[in-house]
Homo-oligomer: A and B are copies of this chain.
Amino acid sequence: MTASPNDTQLKNEIIENFGTPCPVIDLDIVEQNIRRVQALCDKAGVRNRPHIKTHKSPVLAHKQIEAGARGITCQKLGEAEVMVDAGITDIVIATNLLGAARSGRLAKLQARTPVTACADNPVTLNAYAKAAADAERPLDVLIECDTGQKRAGVETPAEALMLVSKISQDPMLNFKGFLFYPTLDSWDATQTFYDTLRVELEALGIKAEIVSTGGSPNLVNLGKLTGATEHRAGTCIFNDRMMIEAGIATIEDCAFQIYTSVVSRAGEERGILDAGSKTFTSDTGGLTGFGHILEHPGARIHKFAEEHGFLDLALCNNKPVVGDIVRVIPNHVCVAVNMVDQLIAVRGGKIVETLPVSARGKLV
């Protein structure tokens, strides 16, 4: 298995059917990545609950479930609505859904299909209780806990326990467990945090049914948190330059590429691609440059305009010419997929289908 080879015929088919820039996924690599993550979860003895924020495609979510995933993770209510429409029922929405709860949308979804939501504060819990009452169906809730990332999540076990207590006292809320996102160096802190919770809750006769860890970079740490029941990873279905940099993937594991034309070579050492920040976004992910060009690894995408990528060709021996089509692996695939309404799927060097990015562009 290799990343789609430098296939002139495929490039011509892409540009003749769709033009450039064009977002392309290789289904063979996608399926290999899905199997790999499932195998890692199986080996570690945790359930796999892939985060669909990366692909936003019910078709790919079903592939993940067919490969063994327990359910899926969403980051927005609108994403969950699309997945429920597609027949997926076991969904964790991994965030404080305050805006969605107050719009009435959470209640409407909960009335159709029960979901599991997350909270790190009492205001969110109050909004959830109202949504559950409106839906006439209690809502399952995970408490989000922060163990060093300084993202969402309560910072202490005491706060988490206070929220568990509040949930327990509310007939419209069910305590379901905890959501963690350990950093690479905070696994010990996460273990201590969770063990404190476990001991306190056992004394109350309460058990966390879900103890969730997250992140594609944490695939190498699966099983490290004793008591973890499941893992949610998103990026690893496609991979990107950040995953390569993190040592999680190789170029050959990157299933998503932007096919883009070299449209200008106004200077000897510079060139311009027809894809910029409205195709890739300007996420750097802490890396230098804005993507890896498979055909010209020495070419550096050093700047973006909205629809142009600016190439520094000083270190590029075999410089591209106007009209060349090149394939770029983005720094951050999750945001690149989020820019488009459809992905062109190829297999074995042939275009096989167009996959709608159905859960993109949802406000809440």
Which residues of A does B touch, CB under 8 Å? 15-23, 53, 75-77, 95-96, 98-100, 102-105, 120-121, 123-124, 127, 146, 150-155, 260-261, 263-267, 270, 272, 274, 277-278, 281-284, 305-308, 310, 321-323, 334-335, 338-342, 361, 363-364
Give A261 to B284 CA distance when docked, in angstroms.
26
Whether A99 pairs with B19 at a CB distance below 8 angstroms is: yes
Partner of A272, one of B151, B341, B363: B151
Inter-chain CA distance A91–B308, complex, in Å, is 20
Known: A98-B274, A322-B123, A361-B339. A103 touches B263 (CB 8 A): no
Cβ-defined contact, A121 with B322, below 8 A: yes
Besides A121-B263, A150-B310, A281-B335, 15 other A-B contacts (C-beta < 8 A): A16-B104, A19-B103, A53-B307, A76-B307, A95-B274, A96-B264, A98-B274, A120-B266, A121-B265, A121-B322, A150-B270, A277-B283, A281-B282, A282-B284, A342-B363
Given contacts A98-B261, A322-B124, contact A307 B340 (CB under 8 A): no
Tell me the minimal C-beta distance from A256 to chain B in angstroms.
14
Contacts A264-B120, A305-B151: A102 and B335 contacting too (C-beta < 8 A)?
Answer: no
Neighbouring B residues of A263 by C-beta, 8 Å: 95-96, 98-99, 121, 124, 152
